[in-house]
Every structure is written in C-alpha cells, then in structure tokens.
Structure 1
Amino acid sequence: MKILFKLSILTAFVAVFSACKKDSNQLQLQGHDQNQMMGIMHATMAKMDTLKMTKDPDNDFALMMRIHHQGAIDMANLELQSGTDATMKQMAQSIITAQQAEIAQLTSFLKSHPAHGNDPDFDMQQMMDMQKGMKQADLQIINGRIDHDFAILMIGHHQTATENARLELLKGSESAMKTMAQSIIDSQTKEISQFQDWLLANGNK
C-alpha cells in the first residue's frame, strides 16, 4: 500500500512537471558552469582571491573595487553584444560609462596614495562580503537568456559593491574614497531598483 501511495505521488508530480514544461512562461534553468555571465563572475572572484592586500582601508577599497568594477563592465559588454532588450542594453552602457570613469579615479588614487594604514579587520570583512556575494550568485536561478541573467546577477553584484562602500565609509579616512563610496551607494542602489522593476515586469524572459 505504501509503495502504491508513493508511486501515485510520483506520477502526480511527473504529470504536473510535464504540464509545466508545455507552458512557455515556466521557470527555466541553465547550469551555472555553462552560463556566460556566471563565468565572468567566477573569473572576477578568482582575481580578487589573489589580490595582495595592504591593510590600508582606503587603498584596499580602491584595489578591490577596481577589480569588481571591471567584472561589471565585462558583464555589461556581454549584455551589449548578446542581449536583446533595449532597457537592459541602455543600463549596460550606463554601467560601462560610469564604472570606467571610476576605475580611472581609483587608479589615480592608488598611484598618489602609498598605503600606510594597518586595519586587517577591514580586509577580512571586505573579502567576506565578496565571498558572500559570490555564494549568493551561485544560488541564483539563471536561464541562459542574457537580458534576464544580466539583470538578476547585477542586483547581487551591486549589493556587494554597496556593502563594501559602506565599509569604506565606516573605516576609511581619505575623502576621495569616501566620496566615491557614497556615490557607489547612491547610484547602484538606484540601479538595483531598476533591475528589480525590470525583472518584475519581464519575469523569466
């Protein structure tokens, strides 16, 4: 009797699953190892893992954000190349323009500001934030459709950046980096909301 009951449950599950497969709006998945956006995120994380920290919060914020920004630019370039949605392509171009300019500012700061701080706790928290963001990305539902994957993964990417920026506001001392940190919080919080609105309107497309 128990076996028949279990078989009935399994048959019902298969029937529901098969019916869902016929629905064009069903939740679709793609393996993370096959996903181009995830490939960029993993490559970015690998670069951050090898970053030699200085224990100076301002310098390490600049060093980490420079790599993190480049990851966003690489994802945005993929959206421009392979995406089809006009809104997402427009946001991608905006991200490229803004973050290329910030990378130039970060590089200029690093050239003119020798590391002199000693705050290993900042480095540890900064890396923990990045690793947490990567774990969250690995849990995201992605479907191989560039516009959808760009939007959903950039939300987490931006959230990690804002967490690091808040840490810089708390621990940093240089006005240039604190000003940039606040700018990152303001602009990327707004973009997170825009990505969320697009996903709510477009679903699993």
Structure 2
Amino acid sequence: MRKNIFISGIVLTSAVLLGACSSNDSMSGMDHSSSSVPAPAPSPQAAAGHNADDVTFAQQMVPHHSQALDMAKLVPSRSTNPKVLDLASRIAKAQDPEIQQMQTWLTTWGAGMSGMPGMTHEPMPGMMSDPDLKKLEGTKGAEFDKMWLDMMIKHHQGAVDMAGTELSKGSNADAKVLAQKIIDGQQAEITEMQDLLTRS
C-alpha cells in the first residue's frame, strides 16, 4: 500500500512538473533556446559597452548633423536645380534618424549634450561659421547651388573624419556601425556633389 502511494506521488509530481514546463513553453512563443534562463535585456551592453570616445562621437555628431539639416532646409526656397533639391532631401532623410539614434545612446549612457566641447572655441571638422551660413542664406539660384555644394562637401568631409576617429578609438559596436555608415554614405555624396560642381 505504501509502495502504491509512493508511486502515485511520483506520478503526480511528474505531472505537475511537466505541466509547468508545458506552460512555460507556451508562454515563450517562438523561443526555441535550450536554456531556461530568461533572455537578457534587448541591449545589455548599451550602458556599459562604450567609452569616452563613443560619447564624444555622439555629442559632436548630433550638432554636426543638425547643421547639415539646417543647410538642407535652405535648398527648397533658394534652388531650382532638381539634383541639388533631391540631394538635400536625401541628406535630411538620412541624418535626422541618425540624430535621434545618437541622442538615445547619450541618454542610455547617462551623458547629455551639456558641456559638450567644441561648440564655440573649438569648432568641429567641417562646421560652418555663423557668417558663412548668413552668406549662404543671402544667395539664390546658381550662386546658391555652388556655395551650398562647396560648404556641404566640407561639412561631409568633417563628418567622415569624425566617423573615422570613432572607428579607431570607439568601443561601442552600434556606434562603430553608424560611423561606418556615415563614412560610406557621405563619401558617396561628396563624390556626387563634386560631380555636380564640375557640371555647373
């Protein structure tokens, strides 16, 4: 009798355990991992996996990109060149999401934009001065197109240089991926703008 009770207890316990496993499996959806340990947070290294160079890259590239957006916004009211108009639109569409991405990193890393180096005394590579931008704003037509292309080429070259520094000194994988994307995209646009200048 005791033997039957003992066996029944084992069967009942096994059934409960199997039921629990089955319940867990149904809750995990498409997760077929062999480990029963809960999955880590989506980006476990977002806060720890960065260094000071990653922070500097994001802190400087955000206003650098922002100036490119400001320059792109000048184009529709000052240019009639469809190729320049198209390029300005593509620059805005590419760089606006990148700004948001870098701002998210800075928040995750506990680093803001305050106290950012280089805004007034040490300009970042390729950044236009206020007088340069005022001069650009005062032009239209072919004169605007040439000045805008010249300035944007220098601006892009500055971004490429900054991204190159991130590749060599940064440690965050996502930031380095973005840096390479900036190099590839903006170098191609530099070539495109140089070609437009030779045709003008």
In the other structure, the counterpart of 2:170 is 172
Return 5+ residue gaps in structure 1 as ranges: 1-54, 116-122
- Is 1:130 equivalent to 2:124 in the alignment? yes
Contact 2:54 2:170 in 1 (8 A): yes
Pair 156,174 (structure 1): closer, same or farther in 2 beyond 3 Å: same
1:83 aligns with 2:114: no
Counterpart in the other structure of 1:58: 54
TM-score (normalised: structure 1): 0.60
Aligned-pair CA distance for 1:93: 0.3
Aligned sequence identity (%): 36
Offset of 1:147 from its aligned partner? 1.4
Partner of 1:92: 88
**Structure with a larger share of its residues in helix:** 1
Give the TM-score, by structure 2 length. 0.61
Aligned length: 136
Q: Quick check: which has more Rg, 1 or 2?
A: 2
1:114 Cα deviation from its structure 2 partner: 2.9
1:184 to partner: Cα distance: 0.4
Contact 1:166-1:185 at 8 Å conserved across structures: yes
Partner letter of residue 146 of structure 1? F
CA-CA distance at 1:80 after TM superposition? 1.8
Tell me, yes or no, if the aligned pair for 1:65 and 1:161 is still in contact at 8 Å: yes
Q: Is the 8 A contact 1:80 1:93 kept in 2?
A: no
Structure 2: state its 5+ residue gaps.
1-50, 112-116
Report the equivalent of 1:149. 147
Inter-CA distance 113–180: structure 2 relative to 1 (3 Å threshold): same
CA RMSD across the alignment:
2.6
| Residue 106 (str. 1) matches residue 102 (str. 2) | yes
Q: CA deviation at 1:59?
A: 1.0
3-state DSSP of counterpart to 1:82: coil
Q: Pairwise mapping of residues 17-32 of structure 1 onto structure 2 (< 5 A)?
A: none
Partners of 2:195 and 2:61 in 1: how far apart?
26
1:14-44 per-position Cα deviation (integer Å, ceiling 9, x unaligned): xxxxxxxxxxxxxxxxxxxxxxxxxxxxxxx
